Chains A and B, each alone.
Chain A
Amino acid sequence: MNATRYRRRNYFINKEYQGRTIFHYFLLILAGSILFSLVFSFFSSNTISIVYEDYHLKLGTTPGILMDRIFSAQWFFIVVCGMAVILITLFLTHRVAGPFYRFEKSLDTMLEKDISGNIHLRKKDEGKGVAERLNRFNTMLATHLSAVEAANKEIRQLAEEQNNPDPEVLESISEKSRRIDALINEFTFTRQ
């Protein structure tokens, strides 16, 4: 078998789901950063810091003296870590959003009675179990439809090979057999 590699080019597949997840993770980072600053300020509020900077000595409560630095660090953290969170979350969520998109497309095809397709997911995608079961279901359905088609053909042959058949009965069997064939032929599938 040829191992076909499926490389996804578009990572932003489900804009609503992925956008919401990215936003929630970003809010988590933002809240964590603010909470850290508040907790740090609270725990260091009764301490004194002495800073010697640019040949000048500064003395005051630790949160007061370090406020500039805390805000700078926080801004840097929000921007840099925020960007990182956006990219990482986008990359991680496309492993869920991609398979869901694929399932939707496959189920649409199946609703149009085409069960010939196979769902291919990438190695690290989520939902490989569901994809495998859907593929197995399609294969099983195709096998059963092929068996029904073959049995229908045999019934028609047996009816035609009868000595002195009742024309009305023969016509009725033929009619029913044609209807079964028509129903089977509505499906697109690989004959087994």
Chain B
Amino acid sequence: MRYLYYILGIFILATAVFAFIGRDRASVEVSRPALVINDRIITEAELNKRLADKPHDMTEEQYIDSLIMQELLIQEALDRDIHQEESFRRSVESFYEQSLVKTLLDRKYQDFSPEVRDKEVEEYKRLSGMEIQFTRRTYNTRTEAKNNKNPSGVQTKTSPFVFLSDNLRFIFLNLAPGQTSAPRQTDEGYVTYRLDQTRPLKKTTPAADMDTQRIRNLIADQKQERLYDRWAANLRQQADIRRPR
């Protein structure tokens, strides 16, 4: 008979463990129902939590009305088994993946906190009163671009510094006349920029009157973008990427 007592003991132990683990689930938040929409009960506690997120331009009644409508739509969608459809699964999958990537990129951008030196700000201010003459060269391969051989396209342009794109302004900010930038991959191939010369503008433009903080932010954004590009390139380099044919 002792063996049957052992089994009884195990039954009791299993029930105790089950009850212990399930205690959190069993201890539901006791709150009066505030809103009943068919079989959905929204408790006072839950409603208060939701009301805390209420948009400022809505009254409490308007928000509760929209909440009721939303719950009705959810119930209707569930009744129609939309949540079991493949298209719904795909849209959840897409949202899930995009959220993952967005969270990662947000964190990465926060990690990159580039330092903007006063010298850079001063140089930017100096160039804001200048006209830039530069040569844009396009290459088919990175090696050709590095060695400055066989460019597929060469363009020479002149423009006031302040009318250039943020990207180009940052590139020329770091170049001395006669210097060429590192090749960057674009849709056209690998592109390099050579700063040919700078000339003072005859007449300064209003765009040149940027305050120091805006200049700092612009330089910081560009630096952040470069750091991100470097990190992404490193990620790609370390990955095992194959395209079997």
Contacts and interface: CB of A to CB of B under 8 A. Distances in A.
B22 interface: yes
Interface string B14-26: 1101100110010
B14 A75 contact: yes
Nearest to A55: B40
A46 to B, nearest CB: 15
Interface of chain A: mostly helix, strand, loop or mixed: helix
A82 B15 CA distance: 13
B10 A22 contact: no
Contacts of B239: none
B3 A78 contact: no
Interface string A75-86: 100110010001
A68 B22 contact: yes
Contacts of A86: 4, 7
A23 B7 CA distance: 7
Interface residues of A, number: 20
B109 interface: no
B89 to A, nearest CB: 10
A19 B1 contact: yes
B3 A68 contact: no
Chain B residues touching A, range: 20 to 34
A30 B10 CA distance: 9
Nearest to B42: A55
Contact of B4 (A22, A30, A55, A75): A22
B240 to A, nearest CB: 18
Contacts of A74: 14, 18
Given A30-B10, A75-B15, A79-B11, A68 B4 contact: no
Given A71-B18, A72-B18, A19 B3 contact: yes
Contacts of B2: 19
A78 B22 contact: no
A71 B21 CA distance: 8
Contacts of A78: 10-11, 14
A22 B18 contact: no
B47 to A, nearest CB: 13
Contacts of A72: 18, 22
11 contacts: A15-B1, A22-B4, A23-B3, A23-B6, A30-B10, A52-B83, A72-B22, A74-B14, A75-B18, A78-B14, A79-B11
Interface of A: 15, 19-20, 22-23, 26, 30, 50, 52, 55, 67-68, 71-72, 74-75, 78-79, 82, 86
Given A23-B4, A71-B18, 16 more contacts: A15-B1, A19-B3, A22-B4, A23-B7, A26-B7, A26-B10, A50-B92, A50-B96, A52-B83, A55-B40, A55-B71, A68-B22, A71-B17, A71-B22, A75-B18, A78-B14
